[in-house]
Structure 1
Amino acid sequence: MKAVKALLRGILVLALFAPNAGWAKPIAGSHLKVFIPSLPYIYISHSINAALLKPANNKKGWEYDMAVAHRKIDETIYEFDLRQGVKFQDGSPFNADAVLMNMEYFKKAPFLFTKIDTVFDRAEKVDDYTVRFHLTEKYGQFLNDAIWIQFYTQPYLEKYGWNGKPTCPNLAEPGPYGLGPYILKEGYIEGDRQTPKAVLVANPSYWNPEYPKIETVTVYTELDSKVALEMAADKEGQLDIMPIPVSEKDLISNSRYSKLVTAPSTDNIAIHMNLRNGNERLMDQDVRIALNKAIDQRRLLNKYYRGEGQIKPTLAAPLYPGVDKVVKNLKAYSEVQDPKSIRDELKAKLKGLELNVYTQDRFMYIWKGIDRDLRKVGVKLNFNITSSEKDVFSQLLATNARKNTKEWDLLVWGDDDWYYNHPWSAFLVYRTHNYWSTIFPDSKLDSYIEEMFRESVGTPEFDKVAEKIMQHVYNSGYMLFVPTPNKVLAVNKEVTYTPYRMANMPLWEIEVSPSHWSVR
């Protein structure tokens, strides 16, 4: 049976990918320039690296990449058939041995943003192109984790090992270390460190003959938002794609060089309350709930988001599986009671409260609306503004251990859907002993998270625990809840790009026309 399976896989590989001479090549001289101010390391990671699965704009949120099929042997064993004929960017072979080598390094320093660091046991080689992953317990999120278990060359692993961080992985330095459609040529972009610019070049030996379409991609991570807007709207050849403040939709719609592209999303705007070492008044549950009741989400959506988003009761976007059912009954505070009708009551609870806000400049359009609502109930906001997301993360990821160096009470970051159609992208911040949480210890909430880890998204069991998590967080007022944003982008008129609704920019799929500035 194994011989027959191997023969069939071999025939499939030869039929699809043997004619190398017919492989498409990127357009000579083509160059794309993008600005990604939030989670850039996540948005481009799968353009450089590869795992068993990769993000996809479908119901599951993923499709096969370095795997071509998988089976769930039992609750703790997953088996994968590997893609054959694939080589790393340095020419070394990708096979079961490469997977086992990577997993040995992963075991020593796994990423820390889920439970995989404790439930992964070992990887087993079945044959040259079949591997099994053994877990220590039932774990419903394994396939989503597999999207982020990327594979690297031996020289890279010997130099850097695996990630070992609370952030998703990406390369620590440029070089032919991955399996993706692009090679990182210049700069680096990780969760906790990045250069202002990174340059990617097409991988000439990428396994899929259709991709990539563009020869060179420059990724900017730290542009001033106003300068970036001018680069996209008013100047040709400086910026091809960038997310824009919704207040600038008219500017882009009337631009000579850019067009407006919008799409629904599963992204989230996470506004943390510092319940570790922030303003002591935030420890009062009634104060936290009053702050949320004061925010008029409908006015915020209509005026400051320009209608580009959805009202929601907690952090998680309404389009997530499980969350979509909860939001039918659980409503945002301002949808239950008009903030105007209880303004005197809110003022009695909040008057004199002064809060320090740490934010990226790109979120100031939202803060204008929040500040307006909170001023009416006696709350003063003091803003500390940066253009760099890494500055925000340096404070956020240190606060759980009370090692933050800036005094902040409210902190915002773009919690775009990095876990791919799974609400763990949002629920992550509720695990109170994790780096990403700024909530004080809450054993009940942590027990709900542990319960969620065991269930698979899309099942009735998962839906039930999602409801318990959301209701608990809602009743506790643990964060400041605002509408989820749509994708709103400025895209060069000579660029063809369909945005995913999650945190992935499929650079390999993007195309430029013969009239694009780089090839015209």
Structure 2
Amino acid sequence: MKKFLVALLCGFILSVQGIVYGETVYTIGDTTGDWGMPAPYLHYSRGPGYVRMSLVFDSLLWKDRGGLVGLLAREWSYDKKGNAYIFTLRDNVRWHDGTPFTPDDVVFTFEYYKKYPYQFADISNIVKKVERLGQNKIKISLSYPYAPFLTNIAGTIPIIPRHIYKDIQNPLQFADPRCAIGTGPFILKTYDKASGLYIFEANKDYYLGNVRVDQLRIVKVNNQVIPSLLTSGQLDAAGIAPEMVPGLKEKGLNIIKSTYDWNAKLVFNHKRYPFSDVRFRKAVAYAIDRERIVKIALRGNGRVGSPGILSPDNPYYTEGLEEYRQDIEKSKELLSKVNYTKDITIIYAQNFDQCAQLIKEDLTRAGLKVTLKSMEQKTVDALINNWRFDIA
């Protein structure tokens, strides 16, 4: 799918590592609610679903501001000649049910994911072989050189317990409470799909030491009541809309501004004409005033995106890309070559309503007939995954 980008201010985020010691319960408000069971095969395939799962399950490595850090692995090295990574695992790690964690769990995890791919990292073609070396080491041999292995695989995939999953033939249907037994800092105590409630309790035997809160609660809330819940102390953290910032600052709340590491994008169904025609996609790009979207829909709390996906403040940003600044005449010229006069439908999640309205205005100026359809994010995702859309 060809993507045209507008970088947005993602929101205002909470880092669990930043919680002050001594607090017993920490409550986070979330406007979506349900992001799936926090287990590897059952969490919803977006960031919030993964984050909830990662509270329960640890990977071999993790990332902080300085780069890669060890979780279940305390040391790692690369064997260039053999194109393999060797990990030394931590001692005295236990699963939440008390079973000791061993290198066999890691070997099993990789073999299991090759058979039943994990949604955030398909290793079926990348990993050639996984073997145990002695009491606390494993060796992962790759099928070919793969530079992002440490971040995209070792630092992403959750290690699962062999003693629980070895007999599970259909992990997508495995919703038993045992599916959420991990080695992570929190133990899942409550998951209510209908209400979107998650309650995690601290893993008192966590191998990296004391967890900073006794209980972490994530509750579903209406966006409009977030300010009052924050100021009254019923919530400790929540994502807020840009227009809420000044009022909450005046009341003394701490506003945490995220980096520009998330983007909103238009996705084209290139299995349908005219969306398969690059001239049409360029016409849409030239029609949209992204500066206006940032100014109006985001109240200035965002940054105009890059067709290269990464924000200009990202160290990996590529200079010199076509910026597609608004040019209605150029858009009209390209559309005249495509010669498409039928209506097009743009589907979008409800929180993008104002962005969608602004985009429709711009595309209408270029001569397109546009219908907007607002729906829940999960419905949008499902339609995209099944190619049942024009533009999303």
Who is 1:16 aligned against? none
Equivalent positions of 1:28-177 (< 5 A) are: 29-35=24-30, 37=32, 39-58=47-66, 60=67, 62-74=68-80, 76-111=83-118, 114=121, 116-143=123-150, 144-158=152-166, 160=168, 172=175, 174-175=177-178, 177=181
Q: Give the letter aligned to residue 395 of structure 1.
A: L
Q: What SS class does the counterpart of residue 165 from structure 2 fall into?
A: helix
TM-score between the two structures when normalised by the length of structure 2: 0.78
1:342 shift after superposition: 4.2
Q: Distance in 2 between matches of 1:320 and 1:79?
A: 34
Residue 331 in 1 paired to residue 326 in 2? no
Structure 1 residues 100-132: Cα deviation after superposition (integer angstroms, max 9, x where no partner): 232332232122555522121221111111110
In the alignment, is the contact (CA less than 8 A) between 2:129 and 2:142 conserved in 1? yes
Which of 270, 274, 282 aligns to 1:275? It is 270
In the alignment, is the contact (CA less than 8 A) between 1:72 and 1:78 conserved in 2? yes
Change (3 A) 1:178 1:52: same
Q: Which runs of 5+ in 1 are unaligned?
A: 1-24, 166-170, 412-520
1:174 shift after superposition: 4.0
Who is 1:394 aligned against? 382
Who is 1:409 aligned against? 390
TM-score between the two structures when normalised by the length of structure 1: 0.61
Change (3 A) 1:105 1:71: same
Who is 2:17 aligned against? none
In the alignment, is the contact (CA less than 8 A) between 1:76 and 1:137 conserved in 2? yes
In the alignment, is the contact (CA less than 8 A) between 2:28 and 2:238 conserved in 1? no
Who is 1:372 aligned against? 361
Q: Distance in 1 between matches of 2:332 and 2:386?
A: 37
Task: Indicate the larger mover: 262-271 or 123-132.
Answer: 262-271
Change (3 A) 1:315 1:237: farther
Structure 1 residues 296-352: Cα deviation after superposition (integer angstroms, max 9, x where no partner): 12222233223333333315122687741x2x2113110xxx425646546756885
Residue 203 in 1 paired to residue 198 in 2? no
Residue 318 in 1 paired to residue 348 in 2? no
Change (3 A) 1:318 1:231: closer
In the alignment, is the contact (CA less than 8 A) between 1:34 and 1:241 conserved in 2? yes
Q: Give the letter aligned to residue 181 of structure 2.
A: Y
Q: Distance in 2 between matches of 1:294 and 1:28?
A: 51
Q: What SS class does the counterpart of residue 87 from structure 2 fall into?
A: strand
Percentage of identical aligned residues: 20
Change (3 A) 1:54 1:317: same
1:240 shift after superposition: 3.4
Q: Distance in 2 between matches of 1:353 and 1:164?
A: 40
In the alignment, is the contact (CA less than 8 A) between 1:49 and 1:150 conserved in 2? yes
Please, what is the CA RMSD of the aligned residues?
A: 3.2
In the alignment, is the contact (CA less than 8 A) between 1:111 and 1:117 conserved in 2? no
Who is 1:383 aligned against? 372
Equivalent positions of 1:499-510 (< 5 A) are: none
Q: What SS class does the counterpart of residue 385 from structure 1 fall into?
A: strand
Who is 2:298 aligned against? 305
Change (3 A) 1:83 1:135: same
In the alignment, is the contact (CA less than 8 A) between 2:286 and 2:328 conserved in 1? no
Q: Distance in 2 between matches of 1:344 and 1:109?
A: 48
Q: Distance in 2 between matches of 1:271 and 1:315?
A: 13
Q: Distance in 2 between matches of 1:88 and 1:273?
A: 44
Q: What SS class does the counterpart of residue 206 from structure 1 fall into?
A: coil
Q: Distance in 1 between matches of 2:343 and 2:196?
A: 33
Q: Distance in 2 between matches of 1:375 and 1:251?
A: 36
Structure 1 residues 412-444: Cα deviation after superposition (integer angstroms, max 9, x where no partner): xxxxxxxxxxxxxxxxxxxxxxxxxxxxxxxxx
Q: What SS class does the counterpart of residue 357 from structure 1 fall into?
A: strand
Who is 1:421 aligned against? none
In the alignment, is the contact (CA less than 8 A) between 1:172 and 1:188 conserved in 2? no
Who is 1:359 aligned against? 348
Q: Which runs of 5+ in 2 are unaligned?
A: 1-19, 33-45
Change (3 A) 1:304 1:331: farther
In the alignment, is the contact (CA less than 8 A) between 1:106 and 1:162 conserved in 2? no
Q: What SS class does the counterpart of residue 386 from structure 2 fall into?
A: helix
1:155 shift after superposition: 4.4
